[in-house]
């Protein structure tokens, strides 16, 4: 008999902080999973390593070139406007609260996420696996859900802002806005600090009433805590996340009974790195007409700028002058402190530029990366701190670099130039917000790109079956557990 499976996503879970929390006795549930299963301390995020991109990769098993979610903030060329998924409250206000919430809650799943790939929910729904999910950016499934009216707060919001029917897993609980059952759990509309508790409450209810075969159990509060307090303060927030996993276990009769009946996969979507300095992109590009949050003032704009924490994108909007605007942008960026790498496409190749020079690459060739992909590479390997050993290209400071950059550059909704910040730096968002003094993520660098992955009751017996693990491996593992076919529509 196939075990039920819980996929637990702990946002921004930093492996060394997980290990510290376990060593201090503050994460007994996670410790038990590691003791009975497999632990990977270097699971590579998507690029940009921001939550919408990584969440889409976790739930589809593909990169942004296929799922088409390019960043936290991006420019919609067809609609001639920015899409803002909630970089900060001040950024959300700049673009309009209702519009940003509509993009995040509805359009990300219904329109922005490619319909040429299935989500894990869709793949499992298609073989009649009972699917369930708590509040998570990607929720698209085969079952239709009406807005909730269980609480007074939910009734007020759903009667004014959120009225649409959405497609999700069989059992869906999304920040009080959607609830397939009355559980008595309250999420305060997804406010940071209470989201993990809502997930734990809902998850315990689902376990007690045997309402799922697959559950995506989302614990996002670790990310908000780390943004404010820095990545090395995570032991406290990891302990809080662990308590929600304990709630699941106790609802099943205790850890022994839970693990007898349930397989578990725990992953982080990305890590976090400390931020000490900010990068402003508005002043360096003041000589160009930059699209702004006000669409009326953006008519005839030459470029759009999309900062997203430790990553950013530049869009060349004047298609007749694309090459000129890309070249001009690259020249400007070369003189900005804190910009570690720039990336763009030229003549069918990816081009990565840094302080050491330029590296050009394309799929196919004589060099293998740790995941078995082949590449042709020309230029300065030092740009990525890369080495070649026995025909294998190794980039320890920028893990899985070529695959991640190639996927990001070939995402049709992404910018023409991609940026990765140097360690310690972050791009200021459209609302003027940053996380200086705390933590952030988004770059290609290992400091915020390597997260934790652990499993028991499913998957391979050893992490050694892969030299390099990635978020792209999670949905295939889930689908294989249930005997689902290839994750493609």
Instruction: Tell me the per-residue pLDDT of 320-340, one tens digit each, with 9 for 90 and over.
Output: 999 999 999 999 999 999 999
What CA–CA distance (Å, rounded) separates 376 from 241? Answer: 43
Q: Is the dihedral of CA 329, 332, 338, 343 positive or negative?
A: positive
359 neighbors 352 (Cβ within 8 angstroms): yes
What CA–CA distance (Å, rounded) separates 403 from 47? Answer: 9
Using a 10 angstrom Cβ sphere, with 0-12 exposed, 13-18 middle and 19 or more buried, the burial of residue 374 is middle
3-state class (DSSP) for residue 2: coil
Q: Which two tokens stand for residue 121?
A: 């929910």
What CA–CA distance (Å, rounded) separates 360 from 348? Answer: 10
3-state class (DSSP) for residue 246: helix
Tell me the chain's radius of gyration from C-alpha atoms: 22
| Interval 26-81: pLDDT, tens | 999 999 999 999 999 999 999 999 999 999 999 999 999 999 999 999 999 999 99
What CA–CA distance (Å, rounded) separates 88 from 250? Answer: 36
What CA–CA distance (Å, rounded) separates 425 from 312? Answer: 12
Higher-confidence residue of 485 and 237: namely 237
* Residue 432 scores a pLDDT above 50: yes
What CA–CA distance (Å, rounded) separates 332 from 315? Answer: 14
* Residue 189 scores a pLDDT above 60: no
* Residue 194 scores a pLDDT above 90: no
Q: What is the distance between the terminal CA atoms of the chain, rounded to a whole angstrom?
A: 27
166 neighbors 110 (Cβ within 8 angstroms): yes
| Interval 252-288: pLDDT, tens | 999 999 999 999 999 999 999 999 999 999 999 999 9
Q: What is the mean pLDDT of residues 133-137?
A: 97
Beta bridge partners of 314: 305, 417
Question: Which are the contacts of 331, defined by CB distance < 8 A and separation ≥ 6?
Answer: none
Question: Which are the contacts of 466, defined by CB distance < 8 A and separation ≥ 6?
Answer: 371, 473
Percent of the chain past pLDDT 70, that is, above it, reads 95
Q: Which two tokens stand for residue 226?
A: 């780390």
Q: Measuring CA to CA, how many Å separate 361 from each of 156, 336, 393?
A: 53, 24, 12
Half-sphere exposure of residue 257: CA atoms within 13 angstroms, side-chain side: 11
445 neighbors 405 (Cβ within 8 angstroms): no
Residues of the chain with CATH 3.40.720.10: 4-69+113-270+446-482
Domain 4-69+113-270+446-482 CATH class label: alpha beta
pLDDT of amino acid 186 = 83
84 pLDDT band, cuts 50/70/90, is very high
């Amino acid at each position: 008999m196939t075990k039920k499976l819980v996929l637990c996503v702990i946002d921004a879970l930093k492996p060394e902080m997980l290990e510290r929390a376990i060593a201090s006795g503050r994460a007994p549930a996670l410790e038990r999973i590691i003791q009975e299963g497999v632990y990977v301390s270097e699971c590579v995020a998507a690029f940009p390593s921001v939550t919408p991109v990584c969440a889409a990769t976790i739930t589809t098993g593909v990169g942004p070139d296929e799922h088409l979610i390019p960043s936290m903030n991006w420019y919609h060329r067809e609609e001639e406007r920015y899409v803002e998924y909630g970089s900060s409250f001040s950024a959300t206000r700049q673009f309009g609260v209702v519009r940003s919430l509509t993009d995040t809650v509805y359009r990300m799943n219904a329109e922005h996420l490619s319909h040429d790939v299935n989500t894990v929910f869709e793949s499992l729904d298609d073989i009649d696996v009972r699917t369930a999910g708590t509040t998570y950016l990607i929720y698209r499934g085969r079952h239709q859900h009406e807005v909730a009216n269980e609480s007074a707060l939910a009734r007020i919001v759903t009667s004014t802002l959120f009225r649409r029917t959405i497609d999700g897993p069989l059992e869906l609980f999304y920040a009080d806005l959607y609830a397939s059952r009355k559980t008595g759990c309250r999420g305060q509309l997804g406010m940071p600090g209470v989201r993990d508790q809502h997930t734990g409450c809902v998850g315990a209810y689902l376990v007690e009433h045997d309402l799922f075969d697959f559950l995506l159990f989302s614990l996002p509060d670790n990310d908000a805590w780390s943004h404010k307090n820095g990545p090395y303060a995570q032991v406290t927030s990891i302990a809080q996340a662990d308590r929600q996993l304990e709630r699941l276990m106790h609802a099943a009769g205790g850890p022994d009974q839970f693990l007898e009946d349930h397989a578990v996969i725990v992953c982080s979507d990305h890590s976090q790195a400390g931020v000490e300095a900010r990068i402003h992109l508005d002043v360096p590009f003041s000589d160009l007409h930059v699209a702004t949050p006000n669409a009326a003032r953006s008519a005839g704009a030459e470029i759009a700028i999309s900062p997203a924490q430790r990553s950013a994108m530049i869009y060349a909007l004047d298609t007749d002058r694309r090459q000129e605007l890309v070249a001009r942008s690259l020249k400007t960026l070369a003189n900005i402190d804190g910009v570690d790498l720039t990336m763009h496409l030229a003549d069918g190749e990816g081009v990565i530029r840094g302080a050491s020079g330029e590296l050009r690459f394309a799929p196919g060739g004589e060099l293998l990366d740790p995941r078995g992909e082949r590449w042709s590479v020309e230029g300065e390997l030092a740009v990525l701190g890369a080495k070649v050993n026995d025909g294998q290209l190794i980039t320890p400071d920028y893990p899985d670099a070529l695959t991640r950059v190639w996927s990001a550059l070939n995402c049709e909704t992404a910018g023409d130039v991609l940026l990765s910040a140097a360690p310690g730096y972050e791009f200021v968002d459209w609302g003027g917000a940053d996380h200086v003094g705390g933590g952030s993520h988004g770059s290609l660098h290992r400091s915020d790109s390597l997260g934790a992955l652990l499993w028991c009751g499913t998957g391979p017996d050893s992490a050694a079956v892969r030299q390099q693990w990635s978020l792209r491996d999670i949905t295939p593992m889930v689908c294989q557990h249930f005997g689902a076919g290839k994750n493609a529509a």
